[in-house]
Amino acid sequence: MVRLPATIAGPIKELTSSIKQIAAGNYSQRVNFEGHNEFGQLAASFNTMASKLEEYNNSNLARLMKEKLKFETLINRMHDPVVGLDENLKIIFANEEAIKVIGISGADLVGKFAQEIAVRNDLVRTLIQDIMLGVNPAGQKQNTIKINSDKKECYFEKEIFPIVITPEGEKESRMIGHVIFLRNVTSYKELDFARTNFIATISHEFKTPISSIKLSLQIIENEKIGKLNSEQRNLIDSIKDDANRLLKITGELLNMSQVESGNIHLTILPSDPKEMLMYSINATKSQADQKQIKFDIDCPENIAQVLADNEKTAWVITNLISNAIRYSYDNSTVLLRISESATKVSISVKDTGQGIAPEYKSKIFDRYFRVPGTKRKALVWDSP
């Protein structure tokens, strides 16, 4: 009777210590109780359990679970919304940012079919519409999506990455799902709006004093307030040229702000492609002379007219030539070519600079995109 408490307490204390070791991840822990009584059976059961846990911990499944946990942690720490779908469009994961912008709790989102949620959620419907239509959106330019998040308008660019694998022992690849990534471009959009409004405001304010200068010049030229000598007339002519140039630049800035705001007005008339090209060459000649760059012009003698806005098409050509000069080496040549086919006239600008790597060519017209390592940012017009 005196020894009984110690006989019971000793094995229980050892078993408790071993359970703590197992809980701490030490699955090699074992207990040994002599005899075939109840404690011996308990020890055998415990050792079997520890052996199974050790086997599981060393198995591929345990490693996969660890990698899955790392992956989920990484996805949840991202500041951009990410949603994963399987081959049946069932949502298999959505990070915290995605749950916040979609406006549905994680429990009601993950594990559900996206088609069912799209019926009552406009954003999910927008995210999966390309996949539902069978369009392959990978690498294609996506329109900016406006989402009301955190009580303000946020802008995102959608990218969809298909997940394709080739099972071991098979030759044909198989689609197993998609990952939808929303890139937050709100800050860029806000800066873009601010820049456009600034340009429009400044350009509008410039027009009034420039017009006043031109009016004053007309009064002086009238000679009603006095005759002008030749030197004074030359000065007035120079001031008039500068005022006209400033007025033209101001008008172009206003038109540029209209382009960026999407409110531009096009005047489509029969236009001469060669005339537009020569205008652009003259506009960029001083820039080319600074780097001793020559123009190699290849243009047929007789070229058909095209239906276009003469002025705004010339902007596009001027911008392309300006970029070609900016990124060409000194003493190089820029190739300018006009070619005609049965249905269209093509104008091409080719430089001999460092060029753009193949992996970035699909993104050159993407808004906010800049080739990594580029010191200068070229303005590219994306126009029909």
Q: Do 301 and 264 form a contact (C-beta atoms < 8 A)?
A: no
- Measured distance CA(277)–CA(299) in Å, rounded: 10
4-28 mean pLDDT: 68
pTM: 0.46
Pair 102, 172 in one domain:
yes
CATH value at residue 352: 3.30.565.10
Would you state the pLDDT for residue 10? 63
309-335 mean pLDDT: 88
Pair 236, 253 in one domain:
yes
Lowest mean pLDDT among 25-34, 72-81, 89-98, 241-250: 25-34
Q: What is the pLDDT of residues 76-93, one digit of tens each?
A: 777 888 888 888 889 888
Q: Give all strands (DSSP E) within 42-133, no chain letters.
A: 82-86, 91-94
Structural domains of the chain, count = 4
Written as six digits, the tokens of 268 are 């489509």
Q: Where are the alpha helices (DSSP H) in 24-95?
A: 38-57, 60-77
Residue 72 belongs to some domain of the structure? no
Q: Which of 130, 153, 184 is the last residue of a domain?
A: 184
Residue 282 belongs to some domain of the structure? yes
Pair 114, 170 in one domain:
yes
Pair 198, 179 in one domain:
no
**Is 384's pLDDT higher than 60?**
no
Residue 63 belongs to some domain of the structure? no
- What percent of the chain has pLDDT above 70? 78
Lowest mean pLDDT among 125-139, 200-214, 307-321, 367-381: 367-381
DSSP H or E run through 308: strand 306-308
CATH value at residue 130: 3.30.450.20
Q: How confident is the model at residue 378 (pLDDT cuts 50, 70, 90)?
A: very low
Pair 83, 180 in one domain:
yes
CB atoms within 10 A of CB 110: 16
- Measured distance CA(174)–CA(165) in Å, rounded: 5
Pair 298, 334 in one domain:
yes
9-15 mean pLDDT: 68
Structural domain of 219 = 190-261
Q: Which of 124, 159, 184 is the last residue of a domain?
A: 184
CB atoms within 10 A of CB 121: 16
Q: What is the mean pLDDT of the chain?
A: 78
Residue 376 belongs to some domain of the structure? no
Q: CA torsion sign, 296 to 301 to 305 to 306?
A: negative
343-354 mean pLDDT: 89
- Measured distance CA(62)–CA(240) in Å, rounded: 81
Residues recorded for the chain = 384
Q: What is the pLDDT of residues 251-281, one digit of tens each?
A: 766 666 666 555 667 788 999 999 999 988 9
Q: Do 337 and 350 form a contact (C-beta atoms < 8 A)?
A: yes
Pair 292, 339 in one domain:
yes
Q: What is the pLDDT of residues 283-292, one digit of tens each?
A: 888 888 889 9
Q: Which of 239, 261, 283 is the last residue of a domain?
A: 261
CATH value at residue 34: 1.10.8
Residue 381 belongs to some domain of the structure? no
Phi, psi of 275 (to 5 degrees): -65, -40
